């Protein structure tokens, strides 16, 4: 009996200590330093061991040229699976191996998210409960090692991968396709991989791995991290005319500017007009443009990851140039974290801007994936005039019929359409309140039995309600909601993947296509 009483007392004391977790800071063992490729994984494993219920570590389908795995850490309340109406977000860093700050920022960000979740920080807990977050600290570990082994001070050494290929020029050139469609008045403005008939080069394994990631997970927002300047760069990266410098707007130019400002404005110096340019002789001071720039206006890039995301998927991606120094000394890393922390968190919240909802069959109630969502801006300018502009970049619904359409505040008409069904158009007002989920707008499509779109205005309140059920309405046991990334995951063993009946292009389709193209070269 005495032993039982002691054990019971210890259990009660342990529960008491656990209940105090939110009242005291949670200590972190994170060290600000340049972590090598082995230490990078150790940091991620420490985070996962500390927060096992909200994290998962997985590797991408391909290793680097030198065989180094490309590790991703995921944060979600149900790691390993897409949940309806919870948007997917990603950060990718160290694409250029000698641009290392983003790598260290993402390692610290992973540590911070876990630390603050355990400390019951309301903002971080809310963000993780509403979002599935993916962090890839190093896309180019081989370039990082080469740069580091040579002292990290060479402006170009280590930029490329081990095959001397610049990974940010290695993606399929979908800009060429979209600009050609515009010239020929072809009404195909999204998911352009099906128009890609040939490649002009074999893509690198790191590029292929990220392409498979993009094709497997329905990201709504992302950023890739670079160094050498201090600016948020937004699409298009390639110019329409082929000029080396030319402002080349996307149909979502207003939204991309909005997203870029969400990173630059919280940063202490990125948007400051008083700061000095990175290159004193001929560098442009982007602080005078609020810390943002159109990519093609700065300089035109073909085969970049940013435009590939936008034109191959539903993902809106920007590029973050994090500072003048590509390889800052270790003693500056903590200061850089402090400068970027608010921006990193604020940008992740932008995945909840705009509109989201579920597209369903109005008879059977089943979700419809791959439905097309088209947007027209009808924002009122004044008492007599309103915008009337189609945004010619459509997104599609995904596995549970859920869709995510990033938009700036205003009034819009959204039209959902799918083959065999009558299109449906609904009016919505977007307000984007801070740290709230996107406005909810569902569609119920009827089988075709008459011509013409159906217009269904919202009830008295134009802001659709958000269901308290995180998984949406009429949730069934359809396996489409299980893990569809299937990318060598580990660390959340009770989450089993299920790849059955997936309608979007699979990674196997992509690999087969790529290898066919390479074989035909």
pLDDT digits (tens, 9 = 90+) for 148-165: 999 888 888 999 999 999
pLDDT at 369 over 50: yes
Is 50 exceeded by the pLDDT of residue 479? no
**What span, in angstroms and rounded, lies between the C-alpha atoms of 77 and 56?**
10
Q: Lowest mean pLDDT of 11-25, 270-284, 423-437, 463-477, name the range.
A: 463-477
Share of the chain above pLDDT 90, in %: 75
| Total residues belonging to the chain | 521
- Going by pLDDT thresholds of 50, 70 and 90, the confidence category of residue 13 is very low
List pLDDT tens digits, range 48-99: 999 999 999 999 999 999 999 999 999 999 999 999 999 999 999 999 999 9
Tell whether the model's pLDDT for residue 109 goes beyond 70. Answer: yes
User: Is the pLDDT assigned to residue 449 strictly greater than 90?
Assistant: no
Nearest to 224 by CA among 124, 316, 88: 316
Confidence grade of residue 213 (pLDDT, cut at 50, 70, 90): very high
180: CB partners within 8 A, 6+ apart: 186
Three-state SS letters, 433-450: CCCCCCEECCEEECECCC
What pLDDT shows up at residue 280?
55
| pLDDT over 80 at 216, yes or no | yes
Q: Is the pLDDT of residue 17 over 70?
A: no
Q: What is the pLDDT of residue 492?
A: 41
Both tokens assigned to 492: 């959340």
Query: How many whole angstroms from its chain centre is CA 12?
Result: 43
Residue in 288, 276, 431 with CA at minimum distance from that of residue 353 = 431
Higher pLDDT residue, 200 or 13?
A: 200
- Which has more confidence, 118 or 509? 118
| Phi, psi of 282, deg, nearest 5 | -130, 10
pLDDT of residue 199: 86
According to the model, what pLDDT value does residue 200 have? 83
Distance CA 474, CA 132 (A): 22
Q: What is the pLDDT of residue 153?
A: 84
Which range scores top for mean pLDDT: 21-35, 193-207, 400-414? Answer: 400-414
Position with higher pLDDT, 227 vs 200: 227
- Asked if the model's pLDDT at residue 47 lies above 90, the reply is yes
Tell me what percent of the residues of the chain surpass a pLDDT of 70: 80
Beta bridge partners of 252: none
Confidence of residue 365 (pLDDT cuts 50, 70, 90): very high
Residue 321 among the catalytic residues: yes
Structure tokens at 377: 């801006």
pLDDT category, 514, cuts 50, 70, 90? Answer: low
How high is the pLDDT of residue 506?
41
Q: CB 390: neighbour CB atoms within 10 A?
A: 13
Mean pLDDT of all residues in 271-279: 90
CA–CA separation, 511 vs 508, rounded Å?
5
Rg over CA atoms, the chain: 23
The mean pLDDT value of the chain amounts to 85
Name the token pair of 46.
């420490």
Which candidate in 321, 454, 493, 500 is catalytic? Answer: 321
- The per-residue pLDDT for 383 is 86
For 356, half-sphere exposure in the C-beta direction (CA atoms, 13 angstrom radius) is 27
Q: What is the pLDDT of residue 27?
A: 64
Residue 18's pLDDT band (cuts 50, 70, 90): very low
Mean pLDDT along residues 367-375: 97
- Burial class for 196, CB neighbours closer than 10 Å (0-12, 13-18, 19+): middle
Give the integer Cα–Cα distance in Å for 216 and 209: 11
Residue 370 has pLDDT above 60, yes or no: yes
pLDDT at site 183 = 95
Distance CA 435, CA 393 (A): 26
Task: Report the alpha-carbon angle 320-311-401, nearest 5.
Answer: 105
Which residues, including other chains, have CB under 8 Å from residue 493's CB and lie 6 or more apart? none
Q: What are the Cα distances from residue 62, in Å, to 208, 218, 251, 496?
A: 7, 19, 33, 21
CA distance 217 to 312: 12
- The predicted pLDDT at position 16 comes to 45
Burial class (CB within 10 angstroms; exposed 0-12, middle 13-18, buried 19+) of 477: exposed
Q: E strands along 76-210, which residues?
A: 88-92, 132-136
The whole model's pTM is what?
0.84
């Amino acid at each position: 009996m005495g032993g039982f009483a002691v054990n019971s007392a210890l259990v009660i004391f342990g529960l008491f200590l656990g209940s105090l977790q939110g009242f005291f800071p949670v200590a972190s063992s994170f060290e600000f330093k340049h972590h090598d490729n082995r230490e990078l994984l150790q940091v991620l494993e420490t985070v996962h061991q500390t927060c096992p219920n909200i994290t998962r570590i997985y590797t991408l389908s391909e290793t680097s040229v030198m065989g180094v795995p490309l590790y991703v850490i995921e944060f979600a309340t149900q790691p390993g699976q897409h949940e309806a109406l919870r948007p997917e977000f990603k950060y990718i860093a160290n694409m250029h191996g000698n641009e290392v700050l983003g790598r260290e920022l993402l390692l610290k960000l992973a540590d911070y998210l876990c630390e603050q979740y355990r400390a019951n920080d309301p903002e971080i807990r809310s963000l993780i409960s509403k979002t599935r977050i993916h962090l890839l600290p190093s896309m180019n570990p081989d370039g990082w090692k080469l740069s580091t082994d040579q002292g990290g001070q060479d402006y170009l050494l280590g930029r490329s991968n081990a095959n001397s290929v610049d990974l940010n020029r290695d993606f399929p050139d979908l800009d060429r396709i979209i600009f050609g469609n515009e010239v020929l008045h072809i009404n195909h403005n999204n998911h352009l991989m099906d128009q890609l008939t040939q490649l002009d080069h074999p893509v690198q394994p790191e590029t292929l791995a990220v392409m498979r990631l993009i094709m497997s997970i329905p990201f709504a927002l992302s950023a890739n991290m670079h160094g050498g300047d201090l600016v948020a760069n937004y699409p298009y990266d390639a110019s329409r005319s082929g000029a080396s410098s030319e402002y080349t707007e996307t149909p979502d130019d207003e939204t991309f500017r909005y997203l870029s400002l969400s990173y630059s404005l919280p940063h202490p110096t990125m948007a400051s007009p008083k700061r000095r340019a990175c290159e004193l002789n001929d560098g442009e001071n982007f602080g005078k443009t609020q810390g943002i720039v159109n990519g093609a206006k700065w300089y035109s890039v073909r085969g970049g990851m940013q435009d590939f995301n936008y034109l191959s998927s539903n993902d809106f991606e920007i590029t973050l140039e994090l500072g003048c120094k590509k390889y800052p000394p270790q003693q500056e890393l903590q200061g850089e974290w402090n400068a970027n922390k608010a921006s990193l968190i604020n940008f992740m919240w932008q995945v909840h801007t705009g509109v989201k909802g579920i597209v369903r069959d109005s008879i059977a109630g089943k979700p419809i994936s791959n439905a097309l969502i088209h947007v027209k801006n009808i924002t009122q300018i004044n008492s007599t005039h309103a915008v009337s502009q189609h945004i010619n970049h459509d997104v599609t619904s995904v596995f549970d019929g859920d869709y995510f359409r990033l938009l700036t505040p205003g009034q819009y008409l959204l039209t959902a359409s799918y083959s065999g069904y009558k299109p449906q158009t609904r009016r919505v007002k977007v307000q984007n309140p801070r740290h709230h989920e996107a406005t909810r707008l569902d569609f119920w499509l009827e089988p075709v039995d008459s011509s013409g779109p159906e217009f269904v205005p919202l009830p008295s309140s134009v802001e659709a309600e958000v269901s308290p059920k995180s998984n949406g309405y009429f949730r069934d046991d359809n396996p489409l909601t299980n893990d569809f990334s299937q990318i060598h995951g580990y660390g959340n063993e009770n989450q089993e993947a299920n790849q059955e009946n997936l309608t979007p292009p699979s990674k196997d389709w992509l690999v087969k296509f790529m290898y066919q193209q390479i074989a035909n070269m």
